Amino acid sequence: MDNTETAEALVRAANQAFYDAHEHRDIDAMAQAWEQSERAVCVHPGWPILRGWAEVERSWRGILSGPGRNQFILTNLDVTVRGDVAWVTVDENLVDGAATGTIAATNVFCRDDHGAWKLTLHHGSPVMG
Amino acid sequence: MDNTETAEALVRAANQAFYDAHEHRDIDAMAQAWEQSERAVCVHPGWPILRGWAEVERSWRGILSGPGRNQFILTNLDVTVRGDVAWVTVDENLVDGAATGTIAATNVFCRDDHGAWKLTLHHGSPVMG
């Protein structure tokens, strides 16, 4: 693999870790997946923009302790890497008992000083039938 | 201004050019605002993920020739620059006669070989009251 392929594989793994944390309701793993900085941004489906890790973390604590199984089947995933920034677009297909549906998601990752790719922006929006 | 401040100002201008093109229903200006490549991605509010400039352009031709005044008041705008990539998060407050509402938007820009910042990803989602 050349450097771009390596980076893309690492970004795919970081992206999967984010969804695994969500599915397992693991706030520590969720925190590990994120860049814990002021520039962290999260837009949950239908929510306003949340800025800064403190506010983003608070939202995940609420979501991960709430109802719902938070199980996803990811499809239509694409990765773009440019330098120390990468972005993933993906369909999150929710499987939650009666509640099913597709969320179109954008995930922006930055490579940190240790070479780890951290989620700095997550934006999810419901796809209307 | 240092380089980061200069880049941020250029990204703000590129972001404004995108919204001006939308408001003026100017498909040529819209095309100028975008990176016309295979990696262009657009998620209109409620839409599925559109990939590649051809598909993205087709959607804008439809939207810009459709009904609605497409007038926006932008608020809560934030810019992050990292190398040749930048992202803007912003509230698009629609003013369209009876139809008003807020769209939370993420716009990712890349700096091209000529130093121009081009929109490579737009993701908008309705903020539910």
Give the domain CATH number at A13: 3.10.450.50
pLDDT at residue A1, rounded to an integer: 54
Per-residue pLDDT band at B72 (split at 50, 70, 90): confident
Cβ distance B104 to A47 less than 8 Å, yes or no, reads yes
**Which domain range does residue B96 map to?**
3-126
Indicate the pLDDT class of residue A65, thresholds 50, 70 and 90. very high
Domain count, chain B: 1
A1-44: pLDDT as tens digits: 567 779 999 999 999 999 999 999 999 999 999 999 999 999 99
Per the CB < 8 A criterion, the answer to whether B111 and B92 are in contact is: no
Could you say which of B48, B83, B102 has the minimum Cβ distance to residue A127? B48
Residues B14, B115: contact at Cβ < 8 Å? no
Cβ contact, residue pair B49, A104, below 8 Å: yes
Considering only the beta carbons, identify the residue of B46, B76, B83 that sits closest to A127. B46
Q: How many C-alpha atoms does A86 have within 13 Å on its Cβ side?
A: 26
The mean pLDDT of B13-20, rounded to a whole number, is: 98
Spatial distance between the Cα atoms of B80 and A38, rounded to a whole number of angstroms: 11
CA distance A9 to A13: 6
Whether residue A87 and residue B110 make contact (CB cut-off 8 A), yes or no, is no
Per-residue pLDDT at B25 exceeds 60: yes
The band of A129, judged by pLDDT with boundaries at 50, 70 and 90, is: confident
What is the DSSP pairing of strand B117-126 with strand B41-43? parallel
Which alpha helices (DSSP H) does B1-129 contain, by range? Answer: 3-23, 27-33, 53-64
